[in-house]
Chains A and B, each alone.
Chain A
Amino acid sequence: MTIMRSELKDAIQEIINIGLGKAAAMLNKLLKNHILLEIPQVTIIPFSEVTREFGLMHLTPVSAVRLCFKGSINGVSSLVFPPDSASKLVDLLVGEENFSEDMDGIKIGTLSEVGNIILNSVMASFSNTLETRLIYTIPAYIEGDISAILRLEVERDALVISAKTRFTVESQEIEGEIFLLFELGSFDILSRAVDAAINS
Chain B
Amino acid sequence: MGNISDSNETGMAIVDNLPLGVLVLSSDFRVVYWNSLLEEWTSIQRHEIVGEPLARRFPHLSDPLYLERIAPVFDGGPSAVFSSQLHSFFIPVALPNGEKQIQHTTVTPLVCREVTYAMVSIQDVTDLTRLARNSRELHFKALQEIEERKRIEVQLRLSSSFFASTSEGIFVTDANGVILSVNPAFEQITGFSSVEAVGNTPRMLNSGKHDKAFYADIWRSIFQDGLWKGEIWDKRKNGEIYPQIMTISAIRDENGFIRQFAALLSDITERKMMEEELRYLSMRDGLTSLFNRRTFDEELENEWRRALRSPAPFSLIMIDIDFFKKFNDTYGHQNGDLCLRGVANVIASSARRPGDLTARYGGEEFAVILPNTPAVDAVSIAEHIRRDVEGLAYPHETSKAWGVVTVSVGVGTVFPERGKSQEDVVRLADTALYTAKKEGKNRVASHDESVKEHH
Contact = CB atoms under 8 A, between A and B. Distances in A.
Interface in B26-73: 65, 68-69, 72
Interface in B72-97: 72, 75-87
B136 interface: yes
Interface in B112-145: 128-129, 132, 136, 139-140
Given A26-B65, A26-B69, A99-B139, A139 B78 contact: yes
A104 B132 contact: yes
Interface string A86-120: 00001001101101000011100110111011011
A16 interface: no
A116 B76 CA distance: 15
A128 B84 CA distance: 29
Given A30-B86, A97-B140, A106 B132 contact: yes
B138 to A, nearest CB: 12
A120 B72 contact: yes
A30 B82 CA distance: 12
A50 interface: no
Interface stretch (A41-49, A130-138, A159-167, A180-188): A130-138
Contacts of A113: 81-83, 85-87
Identify which of B78, B82, B87 gathers the most chain A CB atoms within 10 Å of its CB.
B78
B85 A116 contact: no
Identify which of A30, A97, A112 gathers the most chain B CB atoms within 10 Å of its CB.
A112
B84 A127 contact: no
Contacts of B78: 67, 69, 116, 119-120, 123-124, 136, 139
Contacts of B85: 90, 93-94, 106, 109-110, 113
Given A29-B65, A94-B85, A113-B83, A138 B108 contact: yes
Nearest to A115: B81
Contacts of B72: 120-121, 124
Contacts of B82: 113
B76 A133 contact: yes
B144 to A, nearest CB: 12
A27 B75 CA distance: 22
A124 B77 contact: yes
B107 to A, nearest CB: 10
Interface in B165-183: none
Given A99-B136, A123-B78, A127-B77, A26 B68 contact: yes
Contacts of B139: 99
Contacts of B68: 22, 26
Contacts of B386: none
B79 A110 contact: no
B65 A123 contact: no
A106 B86 CA distance: 10
Contacts of B104: 109
A116 B80 contact: yes
A132 B124 CA distance: 35
A178 to B, nearest CB: 14
B260 interface: no
A106 B272 CA distance: 70
B106 interface: yes
A110 B77 contact: no
A121 B69 CA distance: 8
Given A93-B85, A109-B85, A124 B75 contact: yes
A128 B74 CA distance: 12
Identify which of A26, A69, A114, A117 gathers the most chain B CB atoms within 10 Å of its CB.
A117
A149 B139 CA distance: 30
Contacts of B65: 26, 29-30
A96 B68 CA distance: 27
Contacts of B136: 96, 99, 104
B147 to A, nearest CB: 14
A29 B68 CA distance: 13
A184 to B, nearest CB: 22
B84 A120 contact: no
B124 to A, nearest CB: 14
A93 B128 contact: no
B106 A138 contact: yes
Contacts of A128: 75
Interface in A25-80: 26, 29-30, 67, 69
Nearest to A102: B139
B28 to A, nearest CB: 19
Contact of A139 (B69, B79, B128, B140): B79
Nearest to B104: A109
B305 to A, nearest CB: 78
A105 B86 contact: no
A138 B79 contact: yes
Contacts of B86: 30, 93-94, 109-110, 113-114
A96 to B, nearest CB: 8
Contacts of A138: 79, 81, 106, 108
A84 B136 CA distance: 19
A8 B84 CA distance: 40
A67 B78 CA distance: 9
Interface in A152-182: none
Contacts of A106: 85, 132
A47 B85 CA distance: 36
22 contacts: A22-B68, A26-B65, A30-B65, A67-B78, A69-B78, A93-B85, A94-B85, A104-B136, A105-B132, A110-B86, A113-B81, A113-B83, A114-B86, A116-B78, A120-B77, A120-B80, A123-B77, A124-B75, A124-B77, A138-B79, A138-B81, A139-B78
Q: Which 9 A-B pairs have the closest CB atoms?
A: A136-B78, A109-B83, A113-B83, A116-B81, A110-B85, A124-B72, A109-B85, A105-B132, A124-B77
Given A26-B65, A112-B81, 9 more contacts: A106-B132, A109-B83, A110-B83, A112-B83, A113-B85, A123-B77, A127-B77, A133-B76, A139-B79
